[in-house]
Amino acid sequence: MTGWSQAIAAPPEPAVEEPQTLSGNRGLVIEEPLLFEQGVPGRCGVDLPEPPAFRSRLGGLERRAPIGLPGLSEPQVVRHFTRLSQKNYAIDAGIYPLGSCTMKHNPRLNEKLARLPGFADIHPLQPLSTVAGALELINTLAHWLKTLTGMPAVALSPAAGAHGELCGIMTVHAALDARGERRRRILVPESAHGTNPATAAACGYAVEAIPANKRGRVNVAALKAKLGADVAALMLTNPNTCGLFEDEILDIAEAVHAAGAYFYCDGANFNALVGRVRPGDLGIDCMHINLHKTFSTPHGGGGPGSGPVALAASLAPFAPLPWVVHGPDDLQLVEHAEGAAAQALGRLKGFHGQMGMFVRALAYMMSHGADGLRQVAEDAVLNANYLRARLADALSLPFPGACMHEVLFDDRFLRDTGVTTLDFAKALIDEGFHPMTMYFPLVVHGALLIEPTETESKESLDRFADVVIGLARRARAGGAAAFRAAPRFTPRRRLDETGAARKPVLRWRPGAES
């Protein structure tokens, strides 16, 4: 999910004079040059034998020029990446309340199981007789996802949430093609993730924004006015990115279906519903699920993810290849558009999907069980509402009433303080917290979107809330300069994003200044 600012970094404050170290290091924060600045020719971090003499069969296309890779030993490489790791914030280290990102604890059992040779060391094109357990795992995961969503089919190959969106909208397109209908528009609420309109456009649709109402939900009257014979789908996030449940959803679904369109749900916020509400019962035809959010496969600093798509019966025949189906005796892998899969979309990625993520997600589901998953949704919603209650007086709530798994504030509490949402977020970093999502959704001014998730303890929430309240007080007490100078205690202070984009330096080059 998006969570970063379009705002330009504030100009640097005159730096407060600080004692400088000789090395540039500051205690545990150690300056680390690029790999390319520390290699020595002839050094190597692996020991490989020299091959026996053989006749080259490269067709005369042997590489002639050196590649330019640095030579490092194993201890150097281990040290390099260990030092880099120490410059990252992580859920392992503290609360990571990025709204719409669902940064929850990543159980290490799941890492262990994904590395079993029977899962990690199998090739996607082995004879099916040698991968029966892999198909069983995929089928079991599909069963859990179908049961949790209340939908009859699930496409597992999409590699991330946005890829799942692509899958879903392509499926809608294919279903409309099969009906002989060419519809040209997709409706997307203005609070939607940027991936939604980008996906619709990638599938050749015109995007029309639906405004929000005063309650932070879709303006149903405006939606109905835009619905018509030319609308292919509505893409709705529920709970939406204001952290609110679309309480008119049944009415919305009915209107969408009456117009002959499909109802796509962005399932990024499924964590609020899992085990308590089935999207299939809300009239949804199609929903992607981020296994790397709700089902805790690690985000890994930006992937890999996995974005299975739950499908209604009307869309299931168009699910992309491959399919795992029940044969007469065993599970089978359908890799070609034939038989029941004759209308299937072609492939959306190579091979069969993010197996490594499937193992982790299934281990997570089995660990929680039906009872634990329901508790996940309840605790996620409880934690968000607890923060809402604790912060309501110190910050400013744009929408009254209970939230779901995340709570949205706007920047009215900073009015006339000279402190922006960005400054506030950077000050939180100095206090040892990862900031919330900033400036998103776009439907309120200076948004701060907080999603604590169910894996935060009450003590952790209280510590976070105490600091946020204290910072809000400090901002109102006239501390703007200190906010604009934040963060001070990080490996780097505010970075010049404008300069980076204006004159892009996207790789190291020999002789480049260090």
Partner 1 sequence: MRYLPLTPPERAAMLATIGAGSIDDLFADVPTAARLDGLLDLPRAMGEIEVERRLAAMAAKNLPAGSGPFFLGAGAYRHHVPAAVDHLIQRGEFLTSYTPYQPEVSQGTLQYLFEFQTQVALLTGMEVANASMYDGATACAEAVMMAHRVTRRNKAVLSGGLHPHYRSVCETYARFAGAGLAAQEPAPRGGEDLATLIDAETSCVVVQNPDFYGEIRDYAALAEACHERGALLVVIVTEILSLGAIVPPGEMGADIVAAEGQSLGNALNFGGPHLGLFATRDRFVRQMPGRVAGQTVDADGRRGWVLTLSTREQHIRREKATSNICTNSGLCALAFTIHLALLGEEGLTRLARLNHAAAVAAAERLERLPGVRLLNDSFFNEFGLSLPSPAAPVVERLAERGILAGVPVSRFYPERAELAPLLLVAATELTTAEDIERLANGLREVLP
Contact positions with partner 1 (CB under 8 A) in 396-425: 402, 404, 425
207 binds partner 1 per the rule CB under 8 A: yes
Task: Quote the least distance from Cβ 415 to partner 1, whole Å.
Answer: 24
335 binds partner 1 per the rule CB under 8 A: yes
Contact 383, 317 (CB under 8 A): no
The answer for residues whose C-beta is within 8 angstroms of residue 244's C-beta and 6 or more apart is 215, 216, 217, 399, 403, 404, 408
Among 95, 292, 396, 407, contact with partner 1 (rule: CB under 8 A): 292
Among 456, 468, 472, 483, contact with partner 1 (rule: CB under 8 A): 456
Task: Quote the least distance from Cβ 369 to partner 1, whole Å.
Answer: 4
The answer for residues whose C-beta is within 8 angstroms of residue 42's C-beta and 6 or more apart is 71
Strand, coil or helix: 76: helix
Residues 119-138 touching partner 1, rule: CB under 8 A, are 119-127, 129-134, 136-137
Q: What angle do CA 440, 442, 447 make, to 5 degrees?
A: 50
Using CB atoms within 10 Å of the CB of residue 443, give its burial: 0 to 12 exposed, 13 to 18 middle, 19+ buried. Answer: buried
145 binds partner 1 per the rule CB under 8 A: no
| Kind plus residue range of the DSSP H or E element containing 235 | strand 231-237
Count of positions on this chain that bind partner 1 (CB under 8 A): 215
Task: Quote the least distance from Cβ 412 to partner 1, whole Å.
Answer: 22
Toward partner 1, which CB reaches closer, 154 or 426?
426
Q: How far apart are CA 385 and CA 404, in angstroms?
A: 7
**340 is written with which tokens?**
């029941």
180 binds partner 1 per the rule CB under 8 A: no
Task: Quote the least distance from Cβ 476 to partner 1, whole Å.
Answer: 23
Toward partner 1, which CB reaches closer, 380 or 414?
380
Toward partner 1, which CB reaches closer, 363 or 482?
363
354 binds partner 1 per the rule CB under 8 A: yes
Among 154, 162, 218, 289, contact with partner 1 (rule: CB under 8 A): 162
Using CB atoms within 10 Å of the CB of residue 457, give its burial: 0 to 12 exposed, 13 to 18 middle, 19+ buried. Answer: exposed
262 binds partner 1 per the rule CB under 8 A: no
230 binds partner 1 per the rule CB under 8 A: no
The answer for residues whose C-beta is within 8 angstroms of residue 480's C-beta and 6 or more apart is 417, 418, 419, 423
Among 152, 260, 304, 479, contact with partner 1 (rule: CB under 8 A): 304
Which segment (258-266, 309-317, 354-362, 471-479) binds partner 1 by CB under 8 A?
354-362
17 binds partner 1 per the rule CB under 8 A: no
Contact 424, 446 (CB under 8 A): no
Which segment (218-226, 310-318, 363-371, 474-482) binds partner 1 by CB under 8 A?
363-371
142 binds partner 1 per the rule CB under 8 A: no
Q: How far apart are CA 333 and CA 135, in angstroms?
A: 8
What are the residues facing 188 on neighbouring strands? 209
What are the residues facing 207 on neighbouring strands? 186
Q: How far apart are CA 439 and CA 100, in angstroms?
A: 13
226 binds partner 1 per the rule CB under 8 A: no
Among 19, 27, 42, 400, contact with partner 1 (rule: CB under 8 A): 42
35 binds partner 1 per the rule CB under 8 A: yes
